[in-house]
Amino acid sequence: MKFTKMHGCGNDYIYVDGAREHIDPALKPELVRRLSDRHFGIGGDGVIFINPSTEADFEMEMYNMDGSRAEMCGNGIRCVAKFVYDKHLTDKTSVSIISCGKVKYLELTVQNGKVSTVKVNMGAPVLEAADIPVISLKGDGKGTVIGEKIEAGGKTYEMTCMSMGNPHAVVFVDDVQNLPLEKIGPLFENHERFPKRVNTEFVKVIDREHVEMRVWERGTGETLACGTGACAVAVACILNGLTKEEITVKLSGGSLQIKWDKEADLVYMTGSADTVFEGEIEV
């Protein structure tokens, strides 16, 4: 099977052209776990199959490194756009990509015949508790979860929750660098208040235009970046009155520009997409 290793701000996945490589769907979870292993496989935060689609230009079929299917990946979808353009699967610089039934629209910036950065219309943030999903303190699944208390590991935090195609809990802290994320992350991911588990972003606000974050992703653990997480962070910052509508989110692997156009209720993410290497592996 031929593959391409790519990353967006260090959030690295193994990309496979699903139109050329036909893998039995029942075998994909185990294959994903094997390929994602950084010691015995190729190594990555997961695997993304790029498939033909009748509803958009392409389909993104994404799996976390534990073999579980994921609905959306902001860094991954930028790399999908670079993959299809750089490999001449399309000559368009405006493309649509569907993932788990949701279509996203992307604008590609091309330099020297290759995609360098991608701007993604990530759509509207989902704030209704039942649709995220998160169990709110109100207990009825209605309304928003903004600055709600949650207890994890004997400590009380405040979280703001939303879905950007996948569920997120944003927690503001004074220090992200020294946070014992490997201990705290799993407590949030598997907390009873998140029926489908959750991605958790721990955020320090630097000023009205800059924040830094670390992320614990469900099914993967800590990653160097999370595009949907950065979008969730921007929305949470604005909902809590902490930043402007357009901010730079500093992640462990790089930075993303995020804007929440509140009037149109659309979140835009702009960032890089990079190819690391290509290869072939026996499956």
Question: Residues 77, 231: contact at Cβ < 8 Å?
Answer: no
Question: Residues 193, 150: contact at Cβ < 8 Å?
Answer: yes
Residue 221 Cα distances to 48, 64, 77, 213, 279, angstroms: 17, 10, 19, 14, 26
Residues 6 or more apart in contact with residue 38 via CB below 8 angstroms: 44
CA distance 208 to 223: 25
Annotated catalytic residue: which of 9, 79, 161, 226? 226
**Which of helix, strand or coil describes residue 36?**
helix
CA distance 157 to 152: 8
Q: Which two tokens stand for residue 30?
A: 């185990």
Closest C-alpha among 259, 260, 240, 183 to residue 214: 183
231 is catalytic: no
Cα–Cα–Cα angle for 186, 157, 153, rounded to 5 degrees: 45
Q: Which two tokens stand for residue 96?
A: 């649509």
DSSP β-bridge partners for residue 212: 204, 250
226 is catalytic: yes
Q: Which two tokens stand for residue 171?
A: 């927690």
**Burial group, residue 282, by CB count within 10 angstroms (0-12, 13-18, 19+):** exposed
Q: Which two tokens stand for residue 204?
A: 């320090």
Q: Would you give the DSSP letter of residue 108?
A: E
Annotated catalytic residue: which of 73, 79, 231, 237? 73
The catalytic residues are 73, 226
